[in-house]
Amino acid sequence: MARGALKRILLVEDDPDIQTVAELALSAIGGFTVEVCGSGRDALDRAPGFHPDLVLLDVMMPGMDGPTALKALRQLPETSKTPVVFMTARAQPHEVAQYKQLGSLDVITKPFEPAELAATLRRIWDRYEE
Amino acid sequence: MKTTLEELTARYSRALQSYLEMGGEDALHQAYQVGRDALARDLGVLEVAALHQEALVSTLLQMLAPTESSRIAKKASEFFAETLAPFEMTHRGFQEANAILSDLNDELRRRVEVILRDYKVAQDQIDQHKKMERMKDEFISLVSHELRTPLTSIHASLGLLSSGLTTGLPEKARQLLEVAHRNSQRLVRLIGDVLDLQKIESGTMPFELRPVEIGPFLEQAIEANEAYGAQFGVSFVLNGVPPRIGIKADPDRLMQVITNLLSNAAKFSPSYRTVLVAAQRNAGVVRVTVTDRGPGIPEEFRARIFQRFAQADSSTTREKGGTGLGLNISKAIVERMGGHIGFETEVGVGTTFYVELPLTEQSPNGARA
C-alpha cells in the first residue's frame, strides 16, 4: 500500500478566493504541487492528466457537487483509488459520518487554519498509508 | 346542598357522555334517576338545566369535536328531556322547562361559539409561533453557512500573512495583521457557537449516547487542548481518575463541553499554574471536575454565568477572546445527555467546574473514548 510521500494535490473548489488561499497554503507552506479546479466537471477533465496523490474536494459546488464528483472520479481508471478528502462548512458529526460513508478519507472543516491545512493533510495521508 | 349538586352533576355528566358515545336505555334511565333525585332534593328546573349545560359544555370540550357540536347538542337534548320527565309528572315547571330549553340552546350555542373562537385563535397563535421559530432556525442556519464562505477566505488570507509567509512587513503592519487575524478567529468561533445553539434549540443536534470510558477520554481531551493552554502558559494535569469507569454520553459532544471548560480554565488561570482535571464516582453518576487557580467568580455574576453572552466583565470577551456562548451551550449539551453542570468557586482562590453524567452499568470494554 505504501505510496511514499504526499506530493501532488488536486484542489477542487468553486470559490476563487478560497482557491487562492488554499493553493497558497498547500504550495507555499506545505510544499505540494497543486492543480486547481473550479468545478467537479473540471476535476474530471484534469485529474487523469495530473495524477494526483490526493484530491481535496469541496462539498457544495454548483453543477456537480463534491459527492457526485467523488463517484465520477471512482469511475475513471486513473483516479479509481485516489484518496479524496472533503472540504466543507457543514461538518456536524453526522454529516462527517455521511461523507466518510460516501468514500471520503476524511473531512476538513471550513474555515480552516491555512498554516495547519498542509499538516492536517499530511496526517490524514500518513494514517491512510498505515 | 353543594355536595348534592356536585354529586348529581358528576353522575349526570358520566351518564350523558355514555349516552352520547353509545346511546342506550341504561344511560336514559340514569337521566331519569338524576331527575327524580333532583326533584326529591327540591331542586328547580332552572338548576337542573344549568347542570345539563355545564355537563354538555365540558363533554363537548372533552370530545374536542367542535364540528359535531350541533348533532351532539340535539342528542343531549333528548337525554335532558328524560331528566325532566319526573318534573313533568308532577306538572311542575313544565312550561317553564320549555322556555328554559329554548334559552338554554341559545346560550349553549353562544358559549360553544366563544370556546371555538378562542380555540381557533390559540391554534392560529401556536401555528404562527411554530412557523416563526422554523423561519428563524432556517434563517440562522442559512446566514451562518453563507457567512462561512467569505470568512474562510478572509481568515485564511490573514492566517497566511500572520504565519510569516510574507516577510519584510513593517512592525505596525504586522501588529494590525495579528489584530485582524485574532478577530477573524473569534468570528469563526462565534458562528460555530451560534449554529450549535440553533441546533440545540431546534432539536436538530444529533446525540448518540454510548458508553465512554472516562480515563482515556479525559487524557485525549487534555492532549487536544494542550496547545491552547500553552498559549496562556497553563498546563492541564489529570489528577485522579478511578480505573475503568464509564459514563453514558455522546463522545463528540462531551469533548466539546470538556474543551470549553479547559479553555475557560486556561483563560482565567494565572500563567505557569496547572489546571487540575479529575473524575470521581458518586451514587450512580461520575463527576468530572476542572479546577483552576484563577480569580474566582464574583458573587453577583454567579446566577448569570450559564446565560448567553454572560461574562462577568465585558472586557473579558475582548481580552480572552471568548464568544460568551460556551457555558450556555455546554449546559444545554450536558442536560440533553441527562447530566448536570455546575461550579464551586471562591474569590481569590479559584473555581471548580463540574459535569455529572450517569454511570454505565458495566465498564465499556474497548469502547472508544
A47 has a pLDDT exceeding 50: yes
Tell me which of B26, B58, B92 is where a domain ends: B92
Tell me if ipTM is over 0.90: no
| Residue A94 with chain B: CB contacts under 8 Å | 206
User: Final residue of a domain: which of B92, B126, B152?
Assistant: B92
Domain span at B233:
210-358
d(CA A57, CA A69): 8
First-to-last CA distance in chain B? 69
The answer to whether residues B205 and B193 touch, using CB atoms and an 8 Å cutoff, is no
Q: Nearest Cβ partner of A22 from B145, B156, B205? A: B156
* CATH code of residue B222: 3.30.565.10
Q: What is the DSSP string of B181-192?
A: HHHHHHHHHHHH
What tens-digit pLDDT sequence spans chain B (369 residues)? 555 788 888 889 888 888 888 888 888 888 888 888 888 888 887 788 888 888 877 777 676 655 666 677 777 777 887 887 777 655 556 666 667 777 777 877 788 788 888 888 888 998 999 888 888 877 877 777 788 888 888 998 888 888 777 677 888 888 888 888 888 888 888 888 888 888 888 787 888 899 999 999 999 999 989 988 998 999 999 988 888 889 999 998 999 999 999 999 999 988 888 999 999 998 889 999 999 999 999 988 888 899 887 666 655 554 566 778 899 999 999 999 999 999 999 999 999 999 999 998 655 454 443
Would you say residue B97 lies in a domain?
no
Query: If DSSP codes are grouped into helix, strand and coil, which group holds residue A97?
Result: helix
Could you tell me which chain B residue has the CA closest to the CA of A90? B145
Do B84 and B215 fall into the same domain? no
- B180: number of CA atoms within 13 Å, CB side? 18
Cell of B237: 494535569
pTM: 0.58
Return the residue in B145, B146, B149 with the most chain A beta carbons within 10 A, the one to mutate for interface testing. Answer: B149
Cell numbers at B304, concatenated = 448569570
Contact between A112 and B153 using a beta-carbon 8 Å cutoff: no
- How many domains would you assign to chain B? 2
Q: How far is CA B301 from CA A54, B127, B201, B243, B344, in A?
A: 51, 37, 24, 36, 13
* Candidates A18, A19, A58, A117, partner chain B, best to mutate (most B CBs within 10 A): A18
Confidence of residue A76 (pLDDT cuts 50, 70, 90): very high
> All domains of chain A, ordered by start, with CATH?
8-125 (3.40.50.2300)
Task: Identify the closest residue of chain A to B182 by CA–CA distance.
Answer: A113
Nine-digit cell at B166? 510574507
Give the phi and the psi of residue B159 in degrees, each rounded to 5.
-65, -40
Closest Cα to residue B165, out of A124, A31, A7? Answer: A31
Burial grade of B207 (CB within 10 A; 0-12, 13-18, 19 or more): middle
Q: Do A15 and B252 touch (CB under 8 A)?
A: no
Residues of chain A contacting residue B148, judged by C-beta atoms under 8 Å apart: 89, 110-111
Question: Residue B275: beta bridge partners?
Answer: B236
Helices (H), A7-65: 16-24, 40-50
Whether B214 and B88 map to the same domain: the answer is no
CA distance A78 to A108: 24
Q: Give the SS3 label for residue B158.
A: helix
- List chain B residues with CB under 8 Å of A18: 149, 152-153, 156
